[in-house]
Chain A
Amino acid sequence: MVRYILKRLIIMIPIIVGITLIVFAILNYTPGDAATLILGFDATEASLDALRAKLKLDDPFMVRYVRYLVGLLKGDLGISWRHNTPVAAELMNRIPNTLGLAAYAVTVMLILGIPMGIISAVRQYSLLDHTTLFIALLMTSIPTFWLALMMMLKFSLELGILPATMPTSAAITWKHWVLPTFMCSANLTASTVRTTRSNMLEVIRSDYIRTAKSKGAGQFRVIMYHALRNALMPVVTIVGINFNVLMGGAVITEQVFNISGVGNLLISSVRTKDAPMAMGCIIFIATVIGIVNLLVDLLYVFINPRLKSMYVRNNAAKEES
């Protein structure tokens, strides 16, 4: 198992390096001179040259990329071109909010999406099922930012029960997180409901559920003990696959709700061509997605005995002997 985790972590390294190369190339080869963008369009040639020399922009692409990688290996994400502050420090300020938002969204997804999916499947074709499916369809098809604005209009402006955006000076309370969390998880929750429902429907029609019923197990026991675990296996994968969607959603959500997060930072860095900052944000997001996928795979191994026995057999054998 440990070897497997190590292997996966090692595989992540070339992936992240690959991502840095692609992003570095995109930032480098898209039109617009970084020095001009930083200094403005009426900057003198002299000042532009000075800045280019300072940032070593005149070196060949690969030289700069390798230099960046070497810095990265030393844990140095560089200095923001625009803000002249260490990228790592700026990132650290924002990571808690982004991870917090993602964690809240995943939590909502799990505690709302899975039960709704189960109920929907158990009460298939009931009004409840239709309602749930309809809302889920709505949530998957409505663009996040639009829904966010509608929610703001409804809950912040009309009802006045939730703040629309993050506070600028006061402390952030749970109320501030309600709308962003809802927004961020709407899409994911909807797809979780749909996946849980369809898996559950498939599972409760399977032979082993009939076997369970033939033993005299009640509905609740059949669903919770026999069906759920089997139905959840694909849902776990969905979480992993959709985590990048969630991170993408977080970028939009952070912008709309003015959350001090990595997504917001990424948008403004890309806009201002602040390459080191944008790179830092992307490396962070890629790493998080990689780690989450690894965790999901591990979780999958643990809830799927077939895979578990593949990886844990040696240990089990040792224990028994």
Chain B
Amino acid sequence: MSRKTLSIISLSLIILMMFVTACSSNQTAAPPQDGSSNEQGQETNNNDSKEETVKRTDLVFGIPQDPQFLTAGRSNGQIPNIMQTQLYNNLLRTNPDGSYSPELAKNWEVSDDNLTYTFYLRDDVLFHDGSKMTSKDVAFSFDYHAGKLADYPSGTQARSFLNFYEETEIIDEYTVKIHYSKVYGPTLSCLSDIILGILPEDAFLSTGQDEFEKHPIGTGPYKFISKVPGETIKMQANEDYFDGIPSIKDLTFSIRLDTDAAVIALQTGELDFVTNIATSYKNTIDSDSNLKWFMTDSPGQGWVIFNTGINTDKVGSKYFSDVRLRQAVAYAVDKEDINIASTDGYGKIINSPIPNTFAGYTDVPDYYTRDLNKAEELLIDAGYPNGFSVNLRCITTPTYYKPAETLIGQLAEIGINATLEVLESGAYWTSIMTNYDYDIAIGNYTATTPDADIPLMQHYYTDATLRYTNHSIKELDDLLDKARSELDKSKREEAYAKAVEVILKDNCLVVPLYQFVVTGAGNANLQNVNASPYVDWKISDWSW
């Protein structure tokens, strides 16, 4: 009997050890074979000996989800942004310092009344199908995005970046005038948003939207080759690219639903780059000398949001219709802890719902520095000296449930007994945007146009599309209207600072928590890789 037991114990120990060594191996193991593996196919295998002289020209890029549409403007989000960055160009682009550089437009003029923008286009730009990019393509693209075409009345998601857009007047083959009905401060910023790519009129109209989607055409550094839904998207370098021919020729996007497996594939060299990896993998990547970690601040923000019901026909939360209870929560929140829980501390604590890199941003004080006594006083004042119980809603994504889990503990300190309610994303959005049947939730948003107008208009204007907090405040609407049509920088900033004061100090509609980070990890041999706040990895700049 005892010998049997002994043999079982020793066996289990052996097997356990096997797994332990397997686990620790990512730190100690030998580097994967020269960064190339059988995945790169016969070619590279044959060239293994000549590795030093023959540079690789292919790249396998891991993305965590399938971008739904590849046509410019049709999908908005970080992963679609990556695709559109490779396939399309804008008229101009925003530099990190907020200035603008030419892209498809050589230069531009703004009329005195700020309602007309004249763009002088490059005459050497070809679409992937070989046709020339001219004024009519620009006019078509803006009309299409804005929903001005009879066949596509709903436009694309880029529509919200064309506020007050009237029409595009074709002056000559390479000159266009874009007319606006009202003065709109962030116009140039919006026109440079990745989502406003220029599409080929002829190719698009000859096949129609659905067929075009199956073989999208742009002017960008990469041509679309093929797509297997849910698996791969293949692109090839555009040898006629006007802004220099990319060094990476064969580009494959591989959709990896399982992050752990994707990181292993990165380590074995089966993937060359993976974007949007949780910060918890940073140590694994850093400890592997063949890999490099890329990270930069994102304009994306996480907030606590309340169902306020201020001046709306949908009834707000039983508790959080009362500003005192919203403020009590704000006083109870420890942003530092939440930031550590959600981003391992790599994110930044924020006090404003405007990302700090955006035009219109000014520093605002933390109106609710953590103070549990004040929180409890407010609870007593509101008639809940013993606290109350609510459900805290979030989505299954870590950027939602991680802050939520931490928040629950903090609320418990002031007697609010919050229960985590993790919903499937569809249910969550219906709850916080349509039905307004929640009390308190975690909200996330990433704006891609660096102007305060975009996030504030989308969340806080009456009838805004993403008005999570169920409110209608006239004063706020006026301020936002004023700010978006104001061109003077300091006056705009002043108006936005006032708007933030209304949102936070007066009404406490949300509690801004922290700002995300943009992450990526890739082969250390890749050159010129730079993380961008909008996750628009410019693969055309990369090389081996």
Touch between chains A and B, by CB atoms below 8 Å: yes
Point out residues on A near B: beta carbons under 8 Å.
Answer: 30-33, 36-38, 40-44, 46-47, 50, 80, 82-85, 90, 93, 125, 127, 130-131, 134-135, 138, 145, 148-154, 156-158, 160, 163-165, 167-171, 173, 175, 255-258, 260, 264-265, 267-268, 272-273
When the two chains form their complex, are residues B261 and A165 in contact, meaning their CB atoms are under 8 A apart? yes
Q: Which residues of A contact B287 (CB under 8 A)?
A: none
A272 to B79, CA, bound (A): 15
* Nearest CB of chain B from residue A37's CB, rounded to whole Å: 5
A319 to B229, CA, bound (A): 55
> Who on chain A is nearest to B256 by CB?
A258
A57 to B364, CA, bound (A): 46
Q: Can you list, as one digit per residue, whether each of B8-39 has a CB less than 8 Å from chain A (1) or not (0)?
A: 10011001001101110110011011000111
Please, could you name 19 A-B residue pairs with CB atoms under 8 Å apart, sorted by A? A31-B431, A32-B424, A32-B425, A32-B430, A40-B77, A84-B210, A130-B7, A130-B8, A134-B15, A150-B22, A153-B26, A154-B18, A158-B29, A168-B60, A168-B252, A169-B41, A258-B254, A267-B257, A268-B255
> Who on chain A is nearest to B257 by CB?
A255
Q: Does B429 contact A (CB under 8 A)?
A: yes
- Tell whether A149 pairs with B210 under 8 Å between CB atoms, given A32-B426, A46-B153: no
> Who on chain B is nearest to A42 by CB?
B465
When the two chains form their complex, are residues B153 and A32 in contact, meaning their CB atoms are under 8 A apart? no
- Say which residue of B4, B22, B160, B268 sits within 8 Å of A164 (CB atoms): B268
* Nearest CB of chain A from residue B48's CB, rounded to whole Å: 14
Q: Can you list, as one digit per residue, whether each of B257-271 has a CB less than 8 Å from chain A (1) or not (0)?
A: 110111011011011
* Nearest CB of chain A from residue B20's CB, rounded to whole Å: 10
When the two chains form their complex, are residues B426 and A31 in contact, meaning their CB atoms are under 8 A apart? yes
Q: Which residues of A contact B153 (CB under 8 A)?
A: 46-47, 50
When the two chains form their complex, are residues A50 and B427 in contact, meaning their CB atoms are under 8 A apart? no
A4 to B426, CA, bound (A): 46
A90 to B7, CA, bound (A): 51
When the two chains form their complex, are residues B210 and A167 in contact, meaning their CB atoms are under 8 A apart? no
Q: Which residues of A contact B252 (CB under 8 A)?
A: 168-169
* Nearest CB of chain B from residue A298's CB, rounded to whole Å: 35
Which B399-448 residues have a C-beta within 8 angstroms of A?
423-427, 429-431, 433-434
Q: Which residues of B contact A256 (CB under 8 A)?
A: 258, 260-261
* Nearest CB of chain B from residue A55's CB, rounded to whole Å: 13
> Who on chain A is nearest to B254 by CB?
A168
Q: Which residues of B contact A171 (CB under 8 A)?
A: 41
When the two chains form their complex, are residues B458 and A42 in contact, meaning their CB atoms are under 8 A apart? yes
Q: Does B98 contact A (CB under 8 A)?
A: no
Q: Which residues of B contact A148 (CB under 8 A)?
A: 261
Q: Which residues of A contact B260 (CB under 8 A)?
A: 149, 256
* Nearest CB of chain B from residue A117's CB, rounded to whole Å: 18
* Nearest CB of chain A from residue B212's CB, rounded to whole Å: 11
Which B18-74 residues have a C-beta within 8 angstroms of A?
18-19, 21-23, 25-26, 29-30, 32-33, 37-42, 58, 60, 66, 68
A164 to B40, CA, bound (A): 13
- Tell whether A135 pairs with B58 under 8 Å between CB atoms, given A170-B38, A256-B261: no
A33 to B428, CA, bound (A): 11
When the two chains form their complex, are residues A167 and B38 in contact, meaning their CB atoms are under 8 A apart? yes
Point out residues on B near A: beta carbons under 8 Å.
Answer: 4, 7-8, 11-12, 15, 18-19, 21-23, 25-26, 29-30, 32-33, 37-42, 58, 60, 66, 68, 75-77, 147, 153-155, 157, 159-160, 210, 213-214, 228-232, 234, 250, 252, 254-258, 260-262, 264-265, 267-268, 270-271, 423-427, 429-431, 433-434, 458, 465-466
> Who on chain B is nearest to A266 by CB?
B230
Contacts A163-B270, A168-B270, A268-B257 aside, 18 further interface pairs with beta carbons under 8 A come to A31-B427, A32-B429, A38-B68, A41-B465, A47-B154, A83-B230, A130-B8, A149-B261, A150-B23, A152-B264, A153-B25, A154-B25, A156-B264, A158-B21, A165-B265, A170-B42, A258-B261, A267-B257
Q: Which residues of A contact B4 (CB under 8 A)?
A: 125, 130
When the two chains form their complex, are residues A42 and B160 in contact, meaning their CB atoms are under 8 A apart? yes
* Nearest CB of chain B from residue A126's CB, rounded to whole Å: 10
Q: Which residues of A contact B434 (CB under 8 A)?
A: 33
Number of A-B residue pairs, CB cutoff 8 Å, is: 187
- Say which residue of A41, A90, A138 sits within 8 Å of B229 (CB atoms): A90
- Say which residue of B26, B264, B423 sits within 8 Å of A31 (CB atoms): B423
A41 to B154, CA, bound (A): 14
Q: Which residues of B contact A169 (CB under 8 A)?
A: 39-41, 58, 60, 234, 250, 252
* Nearest CB of chain B from residue A141's CB, rounded to whole Å: 12
- Tell whether A160 pairs with B231 under 8 Å between CB atoms, given A44-B159, A127-B7: no
- Tell whether A157 pairs with B268 under 8 Å between CB atoms, given A134-B8, A169-B41: yes
Q: Which residues of A contact B261 (CB under 8 A)?
A: 148-149, 152, 164-165, 256-258
> Who on chain B is nearest to A34 by CB?
B426
Q: Which residues of A contact B75 (CB under 8 A)?
A: 40
A260 to B40, CA, bound (A): 18
> Who on chain B is nearest to A93 by CB?
B228
* Nearest CB of chain B from residue A284's CB, rounded to whole Å: 15
When the two chains form their complex, are residues A138 and B424 in contact, meaning their CB atoms are under 8 A apart? no
- Tell whether A134 pairs with B433 under 8 Å between CB atoms, given A41-B466, A50-B154: no
A171 to B45, CA, bound (A): 13
- Tell whether A170 pairs with B230 under 8 Å between CB atoms, given A154-B25, A164-B265, A255-B258: no
A264 to B258, CA, bound (A): 11
- Tell whether A158 pairs with B210 under 8 Å between CB atoms, given A152-B264, A164-B261: no
When the two chains form their complex, are residues A272 and B154 in contact, meaning their CB atoms are under 8 A apart? no
* Nearest CB of chain B from residue A89's CB, rounded to whole Å: 10
A36 to B58, CA, bound (A): 37
A148 to B19, CA, bound (A): 12
A135 to B214, CA, bound (A): 49
- 9 nearest CB pairs, A to B: A32-B426, A47-B154, A31-B427, A170-B41, A158-B25, A154-B22, A83-B229, A268-B230, A158-B29
- Say which residue of B15, B264, B427 sits within 8 Å of A157 (CB atoms): B264
> Who on chain B is nearest to A170 by CB?
B41
> Who on chain B is nearest to A46 by CB?
B154
When the two chains form their complex, are residues B426 and A37 in contact, meaning their CB atoms are under 8 A apart? yes
Q: Which residues of B contact A83 (CB under 8 A)?
A: 229-230
A163 to B213, CA, bound (A): 33
Q: Which residues of B contact A90 (CB under 8 A)?
A: 229
A125 to B8, CA, bound (A): 11
When the two chains form their complex, are residues B429 and A264 in contact, meaning their CB atoms are under 8 A apart? no
Q: Which residues of B contact A31 (CB under 8 A)?
A: 423-424, 426-427, 430-431
Q: Which residues of B contact A145 (CB under 8 A)?
A: 258
When the two chains form their complex, are residues A44 and B229 in contact, meaning their CB atoms are under 8 A apart? no
Q: Which residues of A contact B255 (CB under 8 A)?
A: 258, 268
> Who on chain B is nearest to A259 by CB?
B231
Q: Which residues of A contact B25 (CB under 8 A)?
A: 153-154, 157-158
When the two chains form their complex, are residues A30 and B39 in contact, meaning their CB atoms are under 8 A apart? no
- Tell whether A264 pairs with B11 under 8 Å between CB atoms, given A158-B22, A160-B32, A272-B68: no
When the two chains form their complex, are residues B38 and A260 in contact, meaning their CB atoms are under 8 A apart? no
* Nearest CB of chain A from residue B80's CB, rounded to whole Å: 10
- Tell whether A157 pairs with B7 under 8 Å between CB atoms, given A134-B12, A273-B426: no
* Nearest CB of chain B from residue A92's CB, rounded to whole Å: 13
* Nearest CB of chain B from residue A72's CB, rounded to whole Å: 21
When the two chains form their complex, are residues A268 and B427 in contact, meaning their CB atoms are under 8 A apart? no
When the two chains form their complex, are residues A82 and B427 in contact, meaning their CB atoms are under 8 A apart? no
* Nearest CB of chain B from residue A157's CB, rounded to whole Å: 5
